[in-house]
Chains A and B, each alone.
Chain A
Amino acid sequence: GAVVSQHPSWVICKSGTSVKIECRSLDFQATTMFWYRQFPKQSLMLMATSNEGSKATYEQGVEKDKFLINHASLTLSTLTVTSAHPEDSSFYICSGEGSTGELFFGEGSRLTVL
């Protein structure tokens, strides 16, 4: 099946710093990519939807200035957590949509903000 590479798989940073997470579709072109966050033992929560070459669409309650999403090419989307705080600590996952509509998920990035 198609592969989505996400990195880093885990990151620890100090409060106030920014962290960038990359999501690459390795063997398919993902016109649409989704970004989620997941707290322990909870379901995936959609944060935003990004389409290549256009601005991301954010879900209600997600600060677009806090979580910057860039989808500059059909194979790369990035999520930048700006001025991270401990409450931003979470598991962030991306998924790319294949040509048949199937979602291919990255392995996730565990962010810990100290």
Chain B
Amino acid sequence: KNQVEQSPQSLIILEGKNCTLQCNYTVSPFSNLRWYKQDTGRGPVSLTIMTFSENTKSNGRYTATLDADTKQSSLHITASQLSDSASYICVVRSGGSYIPTFGRGTSLIVHP
């Protein structure tokens, strides 16, 4: 069964600090992995997409990594801002199914 596990479930950090969110998946065959940011009461917005051949991809202060061998991805946020407070969702697409598999998300709170 395709599964996506995210950790930690929630995280509280001080403004300006860095943090790393984890995503482990068992989706097979793997097609791609995306990280989404969901602000409270809003729809998710894509941050990065990782395909099988990509190890690292950056989008501003967000850097995603992918280890296809261990089936792990991480999202690193540098110099956090108050506006980074949101839920971060890992979504994995399988080459064998058109239905994406969602992680439960990591709730990040950035305190001033």
Which A residues form the contact surface with B (CB < 8 A)?
Answer: 1, 4, 6, 32, 34, 41-44, 46, 49, 91, 93, 95, 97, 101-108, 110
Q: Known contacts A101-B31, A101-B93, A102-B34; is A44 also within 8 Å of B98 by CB?
A: no
Given contacts A34-B99, A46-B99, A105-B44, list 19 more A-B pairs with CB under 8 A: A4-B43, A32-B98, A42-B104, A43-B89, A44-B44, A44-B89, A44-B102, A46-B102, A49-B98, A91-B41, A95-B44, A101-B32, A101-B93, A102-B34, A103-B44, A105-B43, A107-B42, A108-B41, A108-B43
A41 touches B43 (CB 8 A): no
B2 in contact (CB, < 8 A) = no
Which B residues form the contact surface with A (CB < 8 A)?
Answer: 31-32, 34, 36, 41-46, 49, 89, 91, 93, 98-100, 102-105, 107
Distance in angstroms from B33 CB to nearest chain A CB is 12
**In the bound complex, CA of A101 to CA of B41 (Å):** 24
When distances are taken between beta carbons in the complex, the residues of chain B under 8 Å from A97 are 98
Q: Known contacts A43-B105, A46-B102; is A105 also within 8 Å of B49 by CB?
A: no
Nearest B residue to A6 via CB reads: B43
When distances are taken between beta carbons in the complex, the residues of chain B under 8 Å from A91 are 41
A103 touches B41 (CB 8 A): no
**In the bound complex, CA of A41 to CA of B45 (Å):** 17
When distances are taken between beta carbons in the complex, the residues of chain B under 8 Å from A1 are 46
When distances are taken between beta carbons in the complex, the residues of chain B under 8 Å from A104 are 46
Q: Known contacts A43-B104, A44-B102, A49-B99; is A105 also within 8 Å of B34 by CB?
A: no
B99 touches A107 (CB 8 A): no
Partner among B34, B105, B107 whose Cβ is within 8 Å of the Cβ of A103: B34
A102 touches B102 (CB 8 A): no
* Residue with the highest number of chain A CB atoms closer than 10 Å, among B91, B98, B103, B104: B98
A103 touches B42 (CB 8 A): no
**In the bound complex, CA of A54 to CA of B107 (Å):** 36
**In the bound complex, CA of A15 to CA of B98 (Å):** 35
